[in-house]
């Protein structure tokens, strides 16, 4: 691995902020996912947990060449996540896009197939977190987005439960912990201990 990257079992991590604060614009995070192409689709269907053994995550890097030297049986996908505020719905919105190292973007069908089966049923039940493609409001580029029309509804329930049980009540952390995993964005456990003003400066362990 390149200098600055530490491999820990199946996880490769760069010690950089999980979310970069880009001022008035948005929060941003980038990571690379390495998938093993040598495993047949039939095997994946037989054992859903197999998927967990096929993925390696490389956290944010300024140079794609750091992950270019993977095995021929693997392919690397670059994921970019942006958190913006919707003035219409008055809630945060998760935008994201993904592409291979050669620059070819993933199609909506490929994005859908990358969603874990445990979330696909929920996505089909209602419009609140349906994955759609639309123009990034600040960059003017095509991004995928989880629709925010019911974010306020489910977050009120989550916040009420957290307050009742005297648990962590940081809105962004709770929200990202709920919607992020649907599209492959997860937060380290250390984020559960952070105060609101500390979130954008935290580092992944």
Q: Which is nearest to 184 in space by CA: 115, 109, 107, 82?
A: 115
**Is 149 annotated as catalytic?**
yes
Given the residues 71, 99, 149, 156, the one annotated as active site: 149
Q: Which is nearest to 67 in space by CA: 55, 53, 85?
A: 55
Which residues are catalytically annotated?
Answer: 149
């Amino acid at each position: 691995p390149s200098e600055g990257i530490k491999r820990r079992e199946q996880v490769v991590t760069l010690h950089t902020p999980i979310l970069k604060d880009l001022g008035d614009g948005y929060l941003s995070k980038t990571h690379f996912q390495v998938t093993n192409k040598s495993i047949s689709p039939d095997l994946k269907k037989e054992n859903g947990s197999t998927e967990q053994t096929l993925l390696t995550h490389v956290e944010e890097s300024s140079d794609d060449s750091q992950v270019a030297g993977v095995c021929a049986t693997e392919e690397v996908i670059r994921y970019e996540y942006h958190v913006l505020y919707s003035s219409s719905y008055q809630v945060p919105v998760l935008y994201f896009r993904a592409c291979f190292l050669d620059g070819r973007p993933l199609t909506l069908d490929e994005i859908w197939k990358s969603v874990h089966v445990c979330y696909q049923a929920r996505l089909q039940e209602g419009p609140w977190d349906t994955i759609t493609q639309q123009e990034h409001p600040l960059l003017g580029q095509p991004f995928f987005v989880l629709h925010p029309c019911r974010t306020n509804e489910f977050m009120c329930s989550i916040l009420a439960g957290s307050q009742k049980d005297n648990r962590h009540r940081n809105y962004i952390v709770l929200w990202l912990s709920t919607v992020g995993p649907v599209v492959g964005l997860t937060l380290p456990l250390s984020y559960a201990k952070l105060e609101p003003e500390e979130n954008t400066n935290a580092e992944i362990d």
